[in-house]
Amino acid sequence: MATTATTAPAAHRCSYEDYEATADWLRSQTEQRPKVAIICGSGLGGLAEQLENRVVIPYKDIPNFPQTTVEGHQGQLVFGTLEGHQCVCMQGRFHTYEGYDVYKVTYPVRVFSLLGVRTLVVTNAAGGLNSSFSVGDIMLIKDHINMPGLVGNNPLCGPNDDRFGVRFPCMSDAYDRDLLALAQQTAEGQGIGAFVHQGVYCMVGGPTFESIAEGRALRTLGADAVGMSTALEVVVARHCGLRVLGFSLITNMVVTDYDSTLKANHAEVLDTTLMRTQDLQGLVRGILAQMPVDPEDLYK
Ligand SMILES: O=P(O)(O)O[C@H]1O[C@H](CO)[C@@H](O)[C@H]1O
């Protein structure tokens, strides 16, 4: 009988023991015990270069880890300290369009949770849908539309493992409101508030960029930016109780006009990340500098 995305064969899902084996192996490679994980988007891996006391581990050496296949994603974990926080940075993420299933794409997030991570920072390159956005703007993600999840391709499909989280997790609080406010306030303090906005990120499957009708449809649905990542990682992070802060760098505007001759392309995406990478790094550093090291103290 044919299987569907909602009933992925057990072999495609990962067991608690798989995640534990990876976490144990990582613990054996470094004494660092990160509380913050950062997933770097396309062309945004430079953030990992900012860490101090770096321990770099290529994905190819990590048991059960997938490999990156996309230009702009280096394929290594970097442990280190940033603004007083013990961090682990993914210099390169995984996408379903690379051929990985939703369980593999989100595999690192559960490993991070087992390592003791409490806060997940996600960054991505995204196409702008909101007509008030410009190329080079930074969008603080306040919510998402998980398009693969809505049609049943959700990394939480399958038997629930209560050791990670509940069967039916809430997503109305996916992006931590206090961290969002801290991010907005930090952006203003750094004088970059004019190009920092809040908005809704829509994850699509890719690897095709949107047709004009798709771009228009996503805008009508309420998306401000679109990309091919992030939402699945956030769903798994929230399931295991991590706090999430997300950033989209608007690398191109989605074409929604039949008279336009613009054509979305990955080279443009990577070029724009070069233009704004310093600002985004400065913003993340500024937020971490003000975030209590122990997340339990965050709102005291
Ligand atoms: O979401 P990240 O990994 O930043 O990458 C974005 O950039 C690529 C397209 O140029 C896609 O992978 C899209 O998701």
Q: What is the 3-state secondary structure (H, E, C) of the chain?
A: CCCCHHHCCHHHCCCHHHHHHHHHHHHHHCCCCCCEEEECCCCCHHHHHHCEEEEEEEHHHCCCCCCCCCCCCCCEEEEEEECCEEEEEEECCCCHHHCCCHHHHCHHHHHHHHHCCCEEEEEEEEEECCCCCCCCCEEEEEEEEEHHHHCCCCCCCCCCCCCCCCCCCCCCCCCCHHHHHHHHHHHHHCCCHHHEEEEEEEECCCCCCCCHHHHHHHHHHCCCEEECCCHHHHHHHHHCCCEEEEEEEEEEECCCCCCCCCCCCHHHHHHHHHHHHHHHHHHHHHHHHHCCCCHHHCCC
What pLDDT, on a 0 to 100 scale, did the predictor assign at position 300?
41
Ligand 1, atom nearest to 125 Cα: 4
What pLDDT, on a 0 to 100 scale, did the predictor assign at position 43?
85
Average pLDDT rounded to a whole number, residues 145-150: 97
Residue nearest to ligand 1 atom 6, measured at CA: 125
> Residue 127 in contact with residue 252, Cβ under 8 Å?
yes
What is the Å distance from ligand 1's center to 123 Cα? 10
ipTM: 0.99
What is the Å distance from ligand 1's center to 80 Cα? 25
Task: Give the CA radius of gyration of the chain.
Answer: 18
> Residue 231 in contact with residue 201, Cβ under 8 Å?
yes
For residue 118 and ligand 1, the question of a CB distance below 6 A is answered with: no
What is the Å distance from ligand 1's center to 142 Cα? 19
What pLDDT, on a 0 to 100 scale, did the predictor assign at position 70?
86
For a mutational test of ligand 1's pocket, the pick from 40, 42, 265, i.e. the residue with the most ligand atoms closer than 8 A to its C-beta, is: 42
- Residues classed as catalytic: 42, 73, 95, 97-98, 125, 228-229, 252, 266
For a mutational test of ligand 1's pocket, the pick from 93, 100, 269, i.e. the residue with the most ligand atoms closer than 8 A to its C-beta, is: 269
At residue 292 the predicted structure's pLDDT band, cuts being 50, 70 and 90, is confident
Angle (CA) 186 91 61, round 5°: 150
Say if residue 128 is exposed, middle or buried (CB neighbours under 10 Å; 0-12, 13-18, 19+).
buried
pTM: 0.95
pLDDT at 91 over 90: yes
Cis ω before 63 (30° cut-off from 0)? no
Q: The tokens of 50 are what?
A: 């900012």
The amino acid present at 178, given as its one-letter code, is D
- Cβ neighbours around 33 below 10 Å, total: 12
pLDDT at 249 over 50: yes
Give the 3-state DSSP-derived string for 206-242, with helices as H, strands as E and coil as C.
Answer: CCCCCCHHHHHHHHHHCCCEEECCCHHHHHHHHHCCC
Ligand 1, atom nearest to 42 Cα: 4
Ligand 1, atom nearest to 97 Cα: 12
What is the Å distance from ligand 1's center to 206 Cα? 9
What is the Å distance from ligand 1's center to 135 Cα? 15
Please provide the average confidence, as pLDDT, over all residues in the chain.
93
Look up tokens 């070029």; give the residue: 271
Between CA 72 and CA 55 the distance in angstroms is: 20
Between CA 293 and CA 113 the distance in angstroms is: 16
Average pLDDT rounded to a whole number, residues 264-286: 93
Average pLDDT rounded to a whole number, residues 255-261: 95
Average pLDDT rounded to a whole number, residues 71-98: 95
pLDDT at 4 over 80: no
Residue nearest to ligand 1 atom 12, measured at CA: 228
Contacts of 232 (CB under 8 A, 6+ apart): 96, 102, 105, 106, 146, 148, 149, 154, 155, 203
For residue 125 and ligand 1, the question of a CB distance below 6 A is answered with: yes
